[in-house]
Amino acid sequence: MKKAYIAGPLFSDAERAFNLQIEAVCRAAGFETFLPQRDAPVPGPSNGKDVFGSELRANEWADVIVANLDGMDVDSGTAWEIGYAIARGKSVIGIRTDWRHFSPNERVNLMIEQSSFIVEDLSQLKNALVAWGNDDRSGHG
């Protein structure tokens, strides 16, 4: 079974609820998932290393990163997770339902846009995941 790491902001009820929807689409497409808000330690004043280690190991475990790219700019932690995954040769599928643009010529930051396959809704995400999972090269980044 292919494995997906769900990257995204966790700072509001709305963000966490959308991450849950993304995770459900990944499972429906046949992926085992890691969702930080469910599977990582809850961040606190003294466990930063534990949270970081848990999420780092999950990023390494995953075959693909599925990133919530909504917001005026991509969440900084999500951007880091994308960069780390790309450096390790992994694929990134981003979902951006936000109509705002980072700049006149970019939906999101240029580096994120160029390193990710970006879809615009949950239906497109499911289609992209199914196609990626069926691609013989998908395990090779």
Q: Count of domains in the chain? A: 1
Tens digit of each residue's pLDDT, the chain (141 residues): 999 999 999 999 999 999 999 999 999 999 999 999 999 988 889 999 999 999 999 999 999 999 999 998 899 999 999 999 999 999 999 999 999 888 888 889 999 999 999 999 999 999 999 999 887 555 434
Query: Among the residues of 1-116, which ranges form H helices?
Result: 13-28, 36-39, 48-61, 76-87, 110-115
pLDDT at 137: 52
Is this prediction's pTM over 0.75?
Answer: yes
CATH number (domain holding residue 31): 3.40.50.450
DSSP 45: T
Domain that holds residue 94: 3-140
Closest CA to 29 of 125, 138, 116, 139: 125
DSSP 106: B
Token couple for 81: 């997770």
pLDDT at 10: 93
Query: Among the residues of 43-88, which ranges form H helices?
Result: 48-61, 76-87
Angle subtended at Cα 111 by Cα 98 and Cα 90, rounded to the nearest 5 degrees: 95
Q: With contact defined as beta carbons under 8 Å apart, do 81 and 7 qualify?
A: yes
